[in-house]
Structures are given as C-alpha cells and as structure tokens.
Amino acid sequence: MITQEQISLYIQNIPATPSVIRQTLDHVRNGDLIKAAKCAEEDPALKLYLRTLINRPIYGFRNEVSSLSQIFGILGTSSAQQILYNYLMSLLVPKEWGLFSLTHQAFFDLQASFSRKWEMILKHLNLLTHENESAITLLPASIIVCDALFGAHKKEVEQLRSVKALDYNTILQRLSGQSLFDLCSVIAEKWEMPSSIAHTVHAASGTDGNIGEEVKTLAKWMHLLLFYELSRSPFVEAGLNELIDFKIEFVQDIYESFTQVVGYDETNG
C-alpha cells in the first residue's frame, strides 16, 4: 500500500523554507520585530496568513488587526516564531483532503487552538521558552503527512481497519517501519528547525525511552493535548481521532492537572 519509495518521494517534494520566511525568522530570533515585519511584507501569502490567523476568535482581539508591525508587536518574539512555523506548515496543507474530512479553515482553527492551549500549558509548567513554544507547530504535520500518504489508499485503509482496529500511525509503522513522528522529525530537519523541537514532538508519541525529565514532561502534556483536541466533535467527525494510539498510562499522572489548566481555558474562552 505504502512503500519506502513513496515516503522518500513525499519528503523530497516538501519545499525548502522560502527565503523571505528564513530572513523573517532570523530577525525574530534576533529580537528585531520591526525588521521582521518589513521582511514579511514582501510575501503577500504570508501577510494574508498572519492577518487571517491573528484575527481568528480564539486570539480574542475585539478590533481587526491588519498592520504587520502591530501583529509582530502583539505577538512578541516567541509567538511570532511559532506562527511563522505554523505558516510553513500551512504550505504542506493539501488543496483537497483525501483521507480526513477537513476544510482549510478547520485545520487553521486547530493550529490556533493548539498554539493557545500549549502556551497556557507551558506557563503552568514554567517552561515557556521560544523553542518549547514553537514545538507545538510541528505536531499538525502528523495530520498532513498521514493524509498525504493514505489519501490515495482510503478504501484499502478502511478494509484493513475493518479487520483490525488499528490507528493510522500503527499501520504506517507496520508498512514502512517509520512512524508519523519519525516523518515529522524529517520535516523539522529539512526546515532547519532547532533539534529540540523535533526531539520533543517525537517524544510525544509516548514510545521514546531514555529521555530527560523536561522533555518527558513536555511530551506527556503534548500527547494529552493532541488527544484532547482530536477528540472534539468536529475532528472526530473528520476522522482525526484515529490518527495515533492514545497511551493512557503515559499521561495518567498529569490528567487531573491537564483538565484544570485546559478546562479553565475552555471556560474563559
């Protein structure tokens, strides 16, 4: 169904980081948000993405924010870096989803929800850093990659899953020896993301051994956040709750704390 050659071809076709994005990221990392905003002005698609994303209801701005300098000023360096990575991820979003019943808007709303809740979690854990905050941007890549690889084999996948209730990640591992988290790490490397980002996201699979305590903590919260988000009604209907296997034992010690942090966010919009 899916071969190593198909996976290699998919990875090869992932575009390199556009020069404007690379330069904008460099300015953000150097703390120069004015130069970052001017640089971002050169990319019409990036401008539209930033304006659309920042004005989604989840960000809570009462008045429309349209100026890029204002957008970067509001975001600050950490969140600006995260959203630029989110934009990179949007370049991989298919024109039409083949496996999952998703729309572009639903996917972008999912990105925004991940970002907002992850920031709250990191503040709760007192682990809010640029790289930790940006790690969440790589997680939706698992959804995109899964749709790209399985979309053309939907009927075969449905037949396989009717015999054995397997998640897509397990099927991919059995067919190719690689997991969705492995492929996310490859994407991170291709886009020259800090290695710590790929390390954290890979650990969120719940299967990595011999990892440090901080990474393990981040991985647990990210694993639970993934399932919390994908268990919401619109994403269950889209089929996203079948993405990977939920490892209850991996997150059981943080479940109560997670519910308090994220539950508070849901209550207070």
Per residue in 77-86, pLDDT tens? 988 998 899 8
Among 90, 109, 138, residue at a domain's last position: 90
Q: What are phi and psi of 193, to 5 degrees?
A: -75, 155
How many Cβ atoms are within 10 Å of 208's Cβ, its own excluded?
15
12 and 129 together in one domain: yes
pLDDT of residue 154: 87
Instruction: Confirm if 110 and 229 have CB atoms less than 8 A apart.
Output: yes
Among 32, 55, 90, residue at a domain's last position: 90
pLDDT of residue 4: 86
Cα–Cα distance for residue pair 85/114, rounded to 1 Å: 13
pLDDT of residue 269: 46
252 and 217 together in one domain: yes
68 and 138 together in one domain: no
Name residue, tokens 């969705």.
180
CA distances from 24 to 48, 169, 200, 203, 247 (A): 15, 34, 24, 28, 38
79 and 102 together in one domain: no
Cα–Cα distance for residue pair 260/262, rounded to 1 Å: 6
145 and 245 together in one domain: yes
pLDDT of residue 58: 67
What's the chain's length in residues?
A: 269
Instruction: Confirm if 37 and 68 have CB atoms less than 8 A apart.
Output: yes
Which residues constitute the domain of residue 56? 19-90
Q: What is the pTM of this model?
A: 0.89
Q: What is the DSSP letter of 15?
A: P
117 and 141 together in one domain: yes
| Beta-carbon contacts of residue 202 (< 8 Å; ≥ 6 apart) | 181, 182, 184, 185, 208
Closest by CA position to 194, among listed 112, 269, 137, 249: 137
101 and 221 together in one domain: yes
53 and 105 together in one domain: no
Name residue, tokens 């993301």.
193
Question: Domain count of the chain?
Answer: 2
60 and 102 together in one domain: no
Among 90, 113, 130, residue at a domain's last position: 90
How many Cβ atoms are within 10 Å of 43's Cβ, its own excluded?
18
**Dihedral angle sign, alpha carbons of residues 75, 76, 79, 84:** positive
137 and 38 together in one domain: no
136 and 166 together in one domain: yes
- Token pair listed for 191: 């886009």
149 and 30 together in one domain: no
Q: Which residues of the chain have pLDDT under 50?
A: 267-269
Q: How confident is the model over 43-52, as pLDDT tens digits?
A: 999 999 888 8
How many Cβ atoms are within 10 Å of 89's Cβ, its own excluded?
21
pLDDT of residue 52: 83
